[in-house]
Structure 1
Amino acid sequence: MPDLLVRAPQKAIEAAVRLPASKSESNRALVMQALAYTQKEPADITIQHLSNARDTQILKALLSQKQPVWDVQDAGTTMRFLTALAAVTNQSKIIQGTARMHERPIGVLVEALKQIGFQITYTNQMGFPPLQIQPIQPHQWSKLAEFVKLSAQVSSQFISALLMIAPLLPNGLTIALEGDLRSAAYVEMTIAQMQQAGVVVEKSKHNRQLYVAPQLYQPHSFVIEADWSAASYWFSMVALCPFPMRVLLEGLQSTSLQGDAVIQQLMQPWGVTSKHIPQGVLIQKEEAVVLSDLFFDFSNCPDLAQTVLVCVAASKANATVVGLESLRIKETDRIAALQTELAKFNATLQELDEHHWQLIGEHFATPQQATVSTYHDHRMAMAFAPLSFFCNLVIENKSVVEKSYPHFWSDLQASGFQVEELIAND
């Protein structure tokens, strides 16, 4: 796949960007739409502004297929949501993906589904895809369990998958969570979208238990908001631009279901301000700032970690960081990827213990031209793109952004960046 040479404009920037629709909201809406269609009294759920991200389009395509094998490729959310959906809709399916997908654990979700009474087996390594899902017999349906217990420290997508299928279970479902909930914002998003579609989710104090009674999804029209994760890269651009930069991020809402809207607060140390207007959010940097030692907790917004940490390093600042644990099981081991790529710019990300890291960016330096490897990870490409303000930047494998923000490079170009595809030498 071609690489890109990115050069940032050496002047003030004024831009308007139409962000992609939220991948997270879109994926949940598609699953609820499918579940509403298959429940005993089908309901019509429609979706406006569905994301064009590859992950979402893969999910949409698979939901429309009747083949015995679902290949989710590298779409982790799709793997987890479809595993639960195939079980509750009593389908016979093999669910598989890329080699990296088969390295990403899914055992906690599978064991919870088996605890309920569904028949799922690992076709290769215990606890990992591929999976074989077999339908259960009619007499077994009424005997499905109504209670599961699992660690709250696992992927929030496991919890969201269980929540969304719970209304279709004959006895409903109580999910007991052990420990503090990781990425709680994504579970809250799932609950909010379920409620929009007429499903009530009851929560105990501190969300230790979630209960969904047997009930029906109701007719609803989801309107998907623009993606705050995609917006984060523009916040980083504004923070690092050595010239005045103002960007209108179209389609963002002042009240959002997305936890990554917290990027507005995370970027305040750089003097980046957010003004909500009818068209979206207008961001700009009010004044130059001097950063002291920083602290960030990414427990509820792990997808923002790469963006913010690159920004810290490029600002020649240092930061203490927590909440990175889940980064090891993403599209790549994002902690290792960050350590390798930041080292190219004389910055280090050190693991202090299993929960704490320290980023040392005070010696940050750039060569005239630098090459960033992306490890098949869309967020590595976009998080490092702002370093084009400091050097000619080569991004390997430009196509990785299609996973979540397919028109990222064209948006950069429209904003005045030079983006040149490099032809590999034979």
Structure 2
Amino acid sequence: MDILLNVVGNKKINEKITISGSKSESNRLLILQNLFPEISIENLSDSDDSVHMQHALSTDKETVDIGHAGTAMRFLTSYFAVKEGREVVLTGSDRMQNRPIEILVNALKDLGATISYEDKVGYPPIRIKGSKITTDKVQINGNVSSQYISSLLLIASKLENGLEIELLGKITSVPYIKMTLSLLNQLGIETNFEGNFIKVNPKKSIEKQLVVVESDWSSASYFYSIIALSDIGSEIQLSAYKKESLQGDSCLAEIYLHFGVETIFGENFITLKKVKETKKETLEIDLKNAPDIAQTIAVTCFAENIACNLSGLHTLKIKETDRLVALNDELTNLGAIISVTDKSLHLETSTTINSNISIKTYNDHRMAMAFAPLALRVPIKILDAEVVTKSYQKFWDDMQQIGIKIDKL
């Protein structure tokens, strides 16, 4: 489905939106729930990724297909590696079969796991024979996707001797590692993270408990962008959020002050309010701890005619698409002056925004959602718009609620 987005009337917004649970938290908790059945979960993400995760964890079929769900691929690789007596072939979409998994597989093999490649070495599909793992120490590069590290941490307490992970070199995406550790601590599992070493103690069972998932901060980013592009006085209330968040993308509250957006924390909700105009100086920011919001920020800067230098983006090369190349191509079509490297993005000021441009989404939900706020500046077409269901089922409904007109093409 291709759509045309447009805004009719003024750009002063006052709405309330409810966003489903964090995909990152939900997928971690789903793995933990299957390791520790004592857990009950509320406000689970309704994203395609979490649906794929739930299906994969409940099926007894040998072949488990997780589609485009990268988080599921990584977390399930470790999960099935410790399911004694179970053998599965873990596979996914064409793009998933070209996303690397070798670093995680090698770490699991070092621990004693039995994993082989069905086709291309280093990539899914992979055959996993679940076995008992007693080795309790492993090394992995610290600058790889944090999901590899979290994947190991999620199974660590179920290993006979627990697990100590040594992170080699510089560590990136620390908030996502800390999210995983915080969830383990919440369940009563003892952990320690000092320097480049993470230790998780073994735990056979936990107390029965309910965990409520906080709403997704990555999904909130698109509303930050919308308020940044709206008239002063505009506001959107989002639920359910908390000030002391486990999610790295909660740094949005600080970043969007640059765009005149204030975040007001209430009881289980936040209000985003446009209080002043965007600062016109160049935005310089290292997003190594929150790379998933890079697309949203780049589009906001372009729409607000300010320059930005975004760094720490090396993990974007191995997402649903090469997000840096995709951003470069689509923003260039819109009239931006932009350049990218393999780990950074540089945008110059530009007074022109081309209208009625068709934005390719490359099977990437964040491409569709990050560009949607541009409708507050010019009519814009989004190709394959249904891709948003990967993380945000009712995104287009919520866009219409705040006043963006949507026409199917």
TM-score range, shorter chain: over 0.9
Q: Please give the alpha-carbon distance, in whole angstroms, between the structure 2 residues aligned to 1:145 and 1:240.
A: 53
Residue 135 (structure 2) aligns with: 145
Residue 283 of structure 1 and its aligned partner are, at CA, apart by 0.8
Q: Structure 1 length as normaliser, TM-score?
A: 0.93
Q: Please give the alpha-carbon distance, in whole angstroms, between the structure 2 residues aligned to 1:355 and 1:52.
A: 31
Residue 371 of structure 1 and its aligned partner are, at CA, apart by 1.4
Q: Secondary structure in 2 aligned to 1:343?
A: helix
Q: Please give the alpha-carbon distance, in whole angstroms, between the structure 2 residues aligned to 1:355 and 1:243.
A: 34
Residue 389 of structure 1 and its aligned partner are, at CA, apart by 1.2
Residue 414 of structure 1 and its aligned partner are, at CA, apart by 1.3
Q: Secondary structure in 1 aligned to 2:103?
A: helix
Q: Please give the alpha-carbon distance, in whole angstroms, between the structure 1 residues aligned to 2:198 and 2:396.
A: 41
What stretches of structure 1 of length at least 5 have no aligned partner?
Answer: 38-43
Residue 173 (structure 1) aligns with: 163
- Contact 1:196 1:220 (8 Å CA) reproduced: no
Residue 356 of structure 1 and its aligned partner are, at CA, apart by 4.2
Residue 119 (structure 2) aligns with: 124
Residue 345 (structure 2) aligns with: 357
Q: Please give the alpha-carbon distance, in whole angstroms, between the structure 2 residues aligned to 1:261 and 1:127.
A: 33
**Deviation string for 1:187-244 (max 9, x for gaps)?**
100000011111111122x3x0011122234122110111111101000000012464
Residue 403 (structure 1) aligns with: 390
Residue 357 of structure 1 and its aligned partner are, at CA, apart by 3.4
Residues 279, 160 of structure 1: CA spacing in aligned structure 2 closer, same or farther, 3 A cutoff? closer
The amino acid of 1:271's aligned partner reads G
Q: Please give the alpha-carbon distance, in whole angstroms, between the structure 1 residues aligned to 2:219 and 2:56.
A: 24
Residue 298 (structure 2) aligns with: 309
Q: How does 1:4-19 map to 2 (within 5 A)?
A: 4-11=3-10, 12-19=12-19
Residue 184 (structure 2) aligns with: 194
- Say if 2:369 is the partner of 1:376: no
The 10-residue stretch of structure 1 (413-422 or 124-133) with the greater mean CA deviation from structure 2: 413-422
From 189, 196, 199, the equivalent of 1:211 is 199
- Contact 2:228 2:278 (8 Å CA) reproduced: no
Q: How does 1:27-426 map to 2 (within 5 A)?
A: 27-37=27-37, 44-90=38-84, 91-136=86-131, 141=132, 144-204=134-194, 206=195, 208-218=196-206, 219-242=208-231, 244-351=233-340, 354-360=342-348, 362-422=349-409
The amino acid of 1:192's aligned partner reads S
Q: Secondary structure in 1 aligned to 2:108?
A: helix
Q: Please give the alpha-carbon distance, in whole angstroms, between the structure 2 residues aligned to 1:133 and 1:166.
A: 17
Residue 368 of structure 1 and its aligned partner are, at CA, apart by 3.7
Q: Secondary structure in 1 aligned to 2:3?
A: strand
Residue 170 of structure 1 and its aligned partner are, at CA, apart by 1.4
Report the count of equivalent residues. 406
Q: Please give the alpha-carbon distance, in whole angstroms, between the structure 2 residues aligned to 1:236 and 1:100.
A: 28
Q: Please give the alpha-carbon distance, in whole angstroms, between the structure 2 residues aligned to 1:131 and 1:348.
A: 41
The amino acid of 2:130's aligned partner reads P
Q: Please give the alpha-carbon distance, in whole angstroms, between the structure 1 residues aligned to 2:205 and 2:90.
A: 25
**Deviation string for 1:218-271 (max 9, x for gaps)?**
122110111111101000000012464211112111211111110011111111
Q: Please give the alpha-carbon distance, in whole angstroms, between the structure 1 residues aligned to 2:338 and 2:101.
A: 28
What stretches of structure 2 of length at least 5 have no aligned partner?
Answer: none
Identity across matched positions, percent? 36
The amino acid of 2:117's aligned partner reads Y
The amino acid of 1:34's aligned partner reads N
Q: Secondary structure in 1 aligned to 2:157?
A: helix
The ranges of structure 1 where at least 4 consecutive aligned residues each deviate by more than 3 angstroms after the TM superposition are 353-357
**Deviation string for 1:98-130 (max 9, x for gaps)?**
010011111011001100001000111111111
Q: Please give the alpha-carbon distance, in whole angstroms, between the structure 1 residues aligned to 2:343 and 2:357.
A: 31
Residue 355 of structure 1 and its aligned partner are, at CA, apart by 4.3
Residues 165, 368 of structure 1: CA spacing in aligned structure 2 closer, same or farther, 3 A cutoff? closer
- Contact 1:370 1:391 (8 Å CA) reproduced: no
Q: Secondary structure in 2 aligned to 1:27?
A: helix
Q: Secondary structure in 2 aligned to 1:267?
A: helix
**Deviation string for 1:155-180 (max 9, x for gaps)?**
10111110111111112111000112
- Say if 2:26 is the partner of 1:26: yes
Residue 40 (structure 1) aligns with: none
- Contact 1:10 1:243 (8 Å CA) reproduced: no
Residues 299, 76 of structure 1: CA spacing in aligned structure 2 closer, same or farther, 3 A cutoff? same
Residues 186, 279 of structure 1: CA spacing in aligned structure 2 closer, same or farther, 3 A cutoff? closer
Residue 279 of structure 1 and its aligned partner are, at CA, apart by 4.8
Q: Please give the alpha-carbon distance, in whole angstroms, between the structure 2 residues aligned to 1:358 and 1:380.
A: 18
In angstroms, what is the RMSD of aligned CA positions? 1.4
The 10-residue stretch of structure 1 (332-341 or 210-219) with the greater mean CA deviation from structure 2: 210-219
- Contact 1:197 1:217 (8 Å CA) reproduced: no
Q: Please give the alpha-carbon distance, in whole angstroms, between the structure 2 residues aligned to 1:232 and 1:116.
A: 38
The amino acid of 1:20's aligned partner reads S
- Contact 1:8 1:417 (8 Å CA) reproduced: yes
Q: Structure 2 length as normaliser, TM-score?
A: 0.96
Residue 16 of structure 1 and its aligned partner are, at CA, apart by 0.6
- Contact 2:231 2:274 (8 Å CA) reproduced: no
